[in-house]
Structure 1
Amino acid sequence: MASWDVYALRYAVHERRAFENFIRPPDPHDAPMPMDYFVWVARRGERVIVIDTGFTPEGGARRGRTLIRPVDAALRQLGVEPGAVEDVVITHLHYDHAGNLDLFPKARFHLQEAEMGFATGRHMCQACIRYPFDVEDVVRMVRAVYAERVVFHDGDALIEQGLSLHKVGGHSAGLQMVRVETGRGPLVLASDAAHFLANIERSNPFPIYIDLGDLTQGWHAARRLAGDEARIIPGHDPLVREIHPAVEGSGGETVALHLPPLR
């Protein structure tokens, strides 16, 4: 089986309290629980696949998020030139996962068909549902469709040996996770199927979702695909950077997920 190197690149942060990250409020003695923002890179030799594209500086500023470094700078620090990337997986079209599409002029965007329909359909008439989307990001994806640069998937799909997509929905109608074979076994990049490991461990979801049943079933899918909960990578958890080894020269902002965790 082909083995990939996989990296999590933090590009932004948002200071939050724990009660904001769960449907059911946690311990009444509430504590800080910040949210990290990542893009991911899978690399095998010269082959590079980028997973999600983060938010634009403008999009993050409108929502009060703190940008640590632009996404293109984070990628270049890892030796990835955005303009040369040929395949980008978009786990879903929320603003913090599908901005910066213009950084990838040569890329094919891999997207669940259900997500495109959701982001452009009747549910977007409701402000409470469309809140996590940025209309300009969605419009850019529509333009990519018309330019024949979007590869639509309907359920699970093998992108390349050792790297596959798995539709789970829940948080967004067409949310997909990415399973990647690595030297330490299969990793599941859960994206927002689990913002934090604690969402899974406590069976207590993050409070943005379109289908709560699908969201909770996504946790079971992640466990099955990873084979070990230690190989599930949540979408926004600062623990990701604490338990995985940092890439030299990144100041701890990029970590290697394919290497054995530090604890």
Structure 2
Amino acid sequence: MSLSFPISATVRAPARFVDRSARPGKTDFPVRYGLLLHSRHGPILVDTGYSRELWALRGIQAALYRRLLAPTLRPEGDVEATLARHGLRAGDVRHVIATHLHPDHACALGRFPRARVHASRPALAQWAAAPGLLDGAHGLLRGLLPNLPGVDAAPFEDDPDVPLPWGGRGRDVLGDGSVVSVALPGHMPGHSGILFAGDAPLFYAVDVAWTRAGYRRDEDPPYPARLAVADLATARASAALVRRAEETGVRVALCHDPEPLPEDA
């Protein structure tokens, strides 16, 4: 198996917005997604990153989102550009793992109508719910999401229950132990991390924090990063789980950490 984390875009923001110990000044925070080239199941996407679909979306909520976050796309990091470098097309993707439904993770979901979408039941319930006035405040832009009844959706909770290296339980997404979902609630309903098993396991903890300091210190994130946390109590428990994983020797990766990953593409 080959694992990489292409960067679809960057968001420039004061580092102290997400890490109170950071030096003054702005930082370019990456927006990653995962591409696993699986020996049996072919290309598997973990989220889809930011993409042009965000700019095609109409409405006040989308316009406000673009203005506040102001992401800068990296065309070479677009999900289909990444696939093309491997000689692949969107139709070759049979599995997309959706860690949660924020736009920086779900922009290009609609490009993969033939893929099975793996996600948690809370995320799927949020996807299926009727539109609400507070969707934008919760970081949900429904116009980016395909019509759920037409999606081959597979809840993590239906996958086999398996032990995690640091204790606790996860869900065996593919049935072969190579990809395990781990509930990391708090950031958004259904937010989940993904453990890539093997000789050197890697735990993709997604948005449990923006930087490593965010989960290594037992403290709440500063404002305005705290506004992106749906439930502080469960977010604290998820950060503690990630710390425990790292303490047992499992390598941790985050979506927005400015520190480069060896797997960055």
When the two structures are superposed, what TM-score results if normalisation uses the length of structure 1? 0.78
Instruction: Give the deviation of 1:229 after TM superposition.
Output: 6.0
Unpaired runs of 5+ residues, structure 2, are 57-62, 159-169
Give 1:70-109 correspondences, 5 Å limit: 70-109=78-117
Are the counterparts in 1 of residues 13 and 26 from structure 2 also a CA contact under 8 Å? yes
Are the counterparts in 2 of residues 6 and 182 from structure 1 also a CA contact under 8 Å? no
Unpaired runs of 5+ residues, structure 1, are 246-252, 255-263
Aligned to 1:54: 49
Aligned to 2:73: 67
Instruction: Give the deviation of 1:124 after TM superposition.
Output: 4.3
Seen in structure 2, the aligned counterparts of structure 1 residues 181 and 230 have a Cα distance that, compared at 3 Å, is closer
Aligned to 1:146: 149
Aligned residues: 233
Aligned mate of 2:230, from 210, 230, 236: 210
Report whether the alignment pairs 1:189 with 2:173.
no
CA distance in 1, matches of 2:134, 2:74: 32
When the two structures are superposed, what TM-score results if normalisation uses the length of structure 2? 0.78
How many percent of aligned residue pairs carry the same amino acid?
A: 21
Aligned to 2:13: 16
CA distance in 1, matches of 2:39, 2:140: 34
Are the counterparts in 2 of residues 179 and 225 from structure 1 also a CA contact under 8 Å? no
Greater shift after overlay, 89-98 or 155-164? 155-164
Are the counterparts in 1 of residues 14 and 25 from structure 2 also a CA contact under 8 Å? yes
Instruction: Give the deviation of 1:170 after TM superposition.
Output: 0.5
Instruction: Give the deviation of 1:220 after TM superposition.
Output: 2.5
Deviations 1:161-201 (A, max 9, x none): 221111121100110100011332x1111111122212112
Aligned to 1:32: 26
Deviations 1:4-54 (A, max 9, x none): 3311101111111112224xx446x62222210111012232532110011
Q: Which amino acid aligns with 2:181?
A: L
Report whether the alignment pairs 1:179 with 2:195.
yes
Deviations 1:47-99 (A, max 9, x none): 32110011221416851210011221123224442221111100000001011
Q: Which amino acid aligns with 1:168?
A: L
SS of residue in 1 equivalent to 2:50: coil
Greater shift after overlay, 171-180 or 31-40? 31-40
CA distance in 1, matches of 2:241, 2:252: 10
Report whether the alignment pairs 1:134 with 2:131.
no
Greater shift after overlay, 120-129 or 204-213? 120-129
CA distance in 2, matches of 1:183, 1:124: 45
